[in-house]
Amino acid sequence: MSRLSPQPPDTPEARALVDRLTTGPRGTSVFAPDGSLVGPFPAMLLSPPVGDPLQALGAALRYHSSLPDRARELATLAIATHCRSPFEAATHRRLASALGCTTAQLDAVESGGPVGDEYEDAVLTVTRALLTTGDLDDEQYTLLTEREIFELTTLVGYYSLLALQMRVFRV
C-alpha cells in the first residue's frame, strides 16, 4: 500500500507539471486506468519546483540520450533490479521487450549475466560497476565514449533516485 496520499494537481505549478508530463514524449503512459498518475510521478507533485526538473531529466535521458534505446533500457532494467524497484523493472522490461530483447536476455540482465551483444554487454558492465562500486576502473572506462559514460552515470543516478523515492513512498 502506498504511503503517498493522492496528489491532485491543485496548484498552477502542479498543473503545469502534469501538462508537461502528458504533452511530452511520455504521453498518457504516466496515467493509470483510473486517471491517477503512476510510478514516480505522483511524488513529483509534492514539490513541483523539484519534481519538474527531475521529470525533465528523465525525459532527456530516455528520449534524447546518445545511448541506443535497447542498451538504455537494458541498463535501466539492471538498475531497477539492483535497486529492488518492481515498478521500474516491470516498466523497463516491457519497453526492452518491445525493442526486440528476448525473454532470455531480460532474464540474463536481472540475474547479472551478459545478453550476447558486445556493445550492450559493455553498457551493462559499466552500469553494474557504477551500481556496485560507484566508480570505473581504467578498463571499464574505455568500454564506452566519455559522452556515453556521462549519460550512463546520470542514468544510474536518476533511476537509483526514483527507486529510492518509490521504496520510501511504497509505490
Give this prediction's pTM: 0.93
For the domain made up of 69-169, the CATH class stated in words is: mainly alpha
CB atoms within 10 A of CB 128: 19
Q: How many of the other CB atoms lie within 10 Å of CB of 82?
A: 20
What span, in angstroms and rounded, lies between the C-alpha atoms of 82 and 77? Answer: 9
Provide the percentage of residues in the chain whose pLDDT is more than 90: 81
pLDDT tens digits, one per residue of 38-68: 899 999 999 999 999 999 999 999 999 999 9
Query: Where along the chain do its domains lie?
Result: 12-63, 69-169
